[in-house]
A = this chain, B = another copy of it.
Amino acid sequence: MKISNSPAMRRMPTYLHRLFHLRLSGQEWVSCADLAQYMNIPHIMVRKDIAMTGLAGNKRYGFRVNELIDAILRLVGWDKVSSATLIGAGSLGAALLGFDEFRLYNFVIESVFDSSPDKIGRSIHGHEIYDLADIRKRLKFAPPKVGIICVPAVGAQLVADILVSLGIKYIWNFSNVCLNVPPGVIVQREVIAGGLAVLFAKINKAESGEEIPDGE
């Protein structure tokens, strides 16, 4: 995947969110125009995004909601169950544990670790918080696919080293630091403030009288 496709991949959960909603409403078909209007992005962008799935639409009705959901889940790799462990049960970790939509993506956070005595043994959204000191014992026989790092910057590299040593190759990094990992380990770093920078870029354009770009 070219890096330039990342924005398209980022839109996939939004399509899914809408499609699941439509399915629950009993709607059988959806058009690119419907999705474009909902998301306030250009029609052609939706068309290109959906083309990535390889699904051919019906000229008159668009796409079957069910088929499009399956095609997008397959494209992203969410058609199979993926397991994850989450390290760091602070506010952000708790927010992720409360994300019901992960279930729709077959993404299952199986275990939660923290090193704070205040948190160990407590339960958040039905997940018991384990002691980080026990992580090797608990995960060594069946390491999950993805490690989610939600600890403060200062502890993030140490946690990454532990995850890598357990054989976890895919890391979703919410700590505000770039991690040093061996080749073959993939890190996706989330920078919440990145969205704020994009918002401000749009504000600057708007206030300087330029056209506001489409899209939320």
Contacts and interface: CB of A to CB of B under 8 A. Distances in A.
Interface of A: 1-7, 9-14, 17-18, 38-40, 76-78, 82, 90-92, 94-96, 98-99, 101-102, 105, 107, 145-146, 169-170, 172-173, 176-179, 184, 186-206, 210, 212-216
Contacts of A107: 196
B10 A198 contact: yes
A191 B92 contact: no
Contact of A199 (B95, B170, B193): B170
A188 B200 CA distance: 9
A104 B194 CA distance: 14
Nearest to A177: B17
B94 A198 contact: no
